[in-house]
A = this chain, B = another copy of it.
């Protein structure tokens, strides 16, 4: 048992360093004065090197091996040690040199992406991206792969993910979705012009905070600030920060991004604090994390039931803007489906096409069947093929996402997986709690949150995404739930 305590102490020290870095990153996105960027970057690199160094020490490796062969651990302790050992072995594959080269390349690529966006010219980003792709191939080889080099990177963001699995998911999902999309586009378009009226920033801010509180965001253990791009970060389950942005001419922007981040934050606040620094104190996976944000944003936050309670209240906040907008009009507007160029502004249905285009593009980059210089052409052709729209320039095309500049190849698919898990979990919750919809329609989401806490949040990383899904819904991920959810929402046969 003495060894287990030492393991906990070491893991908590590493978590302390990583969480300190997370505070510095949060500050960077919210409050950092512009000239502070240079030394802040250096401070973050130092913390990252320190955490990497401590998490690859021989001493920790020996400790983990001893604990794995120990017979005195209980089930929870054993699971922590197993997962830490997996993480440790993976971390050890990264040499200090590779860590530094990845960090440098990401720094270079980020600034070149910013500049390329400013000049609306992908070719300015191409050299840094080419370098990054080469490094990611090296990383894939270092991590090891059998089927496809991209598998190694996918695994970084979603354990067990592979091109084989994702090809199967998209091959199943996309044709059904294409059919649904054609049906939806044949219907008259929803009028969402009232969402684009003037909504004063102060009122939006107050409304967002009110919503967060009512939906059980614990303000004693978190806060909301503003940033250019909304995100959620956590320094412990007792300090979870979300950010939002406010566009006075677009009410939807702030409201559903706030509910989305709320979903992430409720998950983080629901992780067991006594497992701080240990795998069982961490989220199960990125896709499960995304299932929580999307469940609240879409399955709850764009439902008729939810707005049955909230629309009357919203009218008190914005009476002029909502004049003459009835419940049906509101519901149709906030669920408007329309093929578009920008992923982050896409509706629930077309969103998966945006993800698939990126997924297949990254896959082709990794196996060498696509070169960086050919990305803009591939991008235009894919958008035309899947969504029937063509970006007029690079900013609304292949330069729109920050991910590649950070070296995040393999991240996008977790968004689609999250959306599918959300539909499956929400359907299962509905079966487990027959009165759920009525509860939500009365403005009571405590029951749903309690269910998510018990079924998902409390377990941390104990179960893999798939194991968790099977435990909750008695089957692996199935697109049937999402398709059924869309059919029902849009009253399709």
The 8 A CB mask of A421-462 against B (1 = contact, 0 = none) is 000000000000000000000000000000000000000000
Please judge, given known A-B contacts A36-B239, A238-B38, whether A19 and B43 are in contact too, CB under 8 Å: yes
Do A23 and B19 touch (CB < 8 A)? no
The residues of B that contact A223 with a CB separation of less than 8 Å are: 31, 33
Q: Report which of B12, B39, B218, B239 forms a contact with A235, defined as CB distance below 8 A.
A: B39
B31 touching A43, Cβ below 8 Å: no
User: Is A85 part of the binding interface, using a Cβ–Cβ cutoff of 8 Å?
Assistant: no
User: Does A33 contact B220, Cβ atoms closer than 8 Å?
Assistant: yes
CA distance A220 to B221 in the complex (A): 31
User: How many residues of A are counted as interface, with CB atoms below 8 angstroms from the partner's CB atoms?
Assistant: 38
With an 8 A cutoff between CB atoms, is A192 at the interface?
no
**Bound state CA distance, A34 and B219, in angstroms?**
9
Chain B residues with CB below 8 A from A238, complex form: 33, 35-36, 38-39
- Given the complex of chains A and B, what is the CA–CA distance between A23 and B276 in angstroms? 21
A311 within 8 A of B: no
Q: Which of A212-268 contact B (CB under 8 A)?
A: 218-223, 225, 235-236, 238-239
List the B side residues contacting A309 at CB < 8 Å: none
Interface of A is mostly: helix
Quick one: which of B21, B32, B33, B42 contacts A12, CB cutoff 8 A? B42
Residue A13 interfacial (CB < 8 Å): yes
Using Cβ atoms and an 8 Å threshold, which residues of chain B touch A189?
Answer: none
Q: Are A50 and B17 in contact (CB under 8 A)?
A: yes
Q: What CA separation (Å) do A276 and B42 show in the bound complex? A: 11
CB distance from A40 to the nearest CB of B (A): 7
Cα distance A50–B39 in the bound complex, in angstroms? 19
Give bound CA distance, A58 to B203, whole Å. Answer: 58
Of the candidates B35, B47, B221, which one forms a contact with A20 in the assembled complex, judged by CB atoms under 8 Å apart? B47
Contact A236 B50 (CB under 8 A): no
Q: Indicate if A27 sits at the interface (CB-CB under 8 A).
A: yes
A37 CB to nearest B CB, Å: 8
Asked if B33 contacts A236 (CB within 8 A), the reply is no
Inter-chain CA distance A16–B43, complex, in Å, is 5
- Cβ of A201 < 8 Å from any Cβ of B? no
* Residue of B whose beta carbon sits closest to that of A47: B20
Say yes or no: B220 contacts A34, CB within 8 Å.
Answer: yes
CB distance from A33 to the nearest CB of B (A): 5
Residues of B with C-beta under 8 A to A47: 16-17, 20
Answer whether residue A24 sits at the interface, using C-beta atoms and an 8 A cutoff: yes
Query: Least Cβ distance of A241 to chain B in Å?
Result: 8
Distance between A421 CB and nearest chain B CB, rounded to angstroms: 29
**A239 x B35 contact (CB < 8 A):** yes
Bound CA–CA A39/B42 (angstroms): 24
In the bound complex, do residue B20 and residue A43 qualify as a contact, i.e. CB atoms below 8 Å apart? yes
Point out the residues of chain B lying under 8 angstroms from A221, CB to CB. 33, 35-36
Q: Closest Cβ of chain B: how far from A118's Cβ, in Å?
A: 19
For the complex, is A197 an interface residue (Cβ under 8 Å from B)?
Answer: no
A46 in the interface, Cβ–Cβ < 8 Å?
yes
A38, A39, A276: residue with the most chain B Cβ atoms closer than 10 Å: A39
Please tell me if the beta carbons of B38 and A27 are within 8 angstroms of each other in the complex. Answer: no
A17 partner residues in chain B, CB cutoff 8 A: 46-47, 50
Q: Provide the bound-state CA to CA distance between A19 and B220, in Å.
A: 26
The 30 sampled A-B contact pairs (Cβ below 8 Å) are A16-B45, A16-B46, A17-B46, A17-B47, A19-B39, A19-B43, A20-B20, A20-B21, A20-B24, A20-B46, A20-B47, A23-B23, A23-B27, A23-B43, A27-B27, A33-B219, A33-B222, A33-B238, A33-B239, A34-B220, A36-B221, A36-B236, A36-B239, A38-B236, A39-B236, A39-B238, A39-B273, A39-B276, A40-B239, A50-B50
Interface set of A (CB-CB < 8 Å, partner B):
12-13, 16-17, 19-21, 23-24, 27, 31-36, 38-40, 42-43, 45-47, 50, 218-223, 225, 235-236, 238-239, 273, 276
Q: Closest 5 CB pairs between A and B?
A: A36-B239, A39-B236, A16-B46, A35-B238, A35-B221
Known pairs A19-B39, A20-B47, A35-B218; list 10 more (Cβ under 8 Å): A16-B45, A16-B47, A17-B47, A17-B50, A32-B239, A33-B223, A35-B220, A35-B238, A36-B239, A39-B238
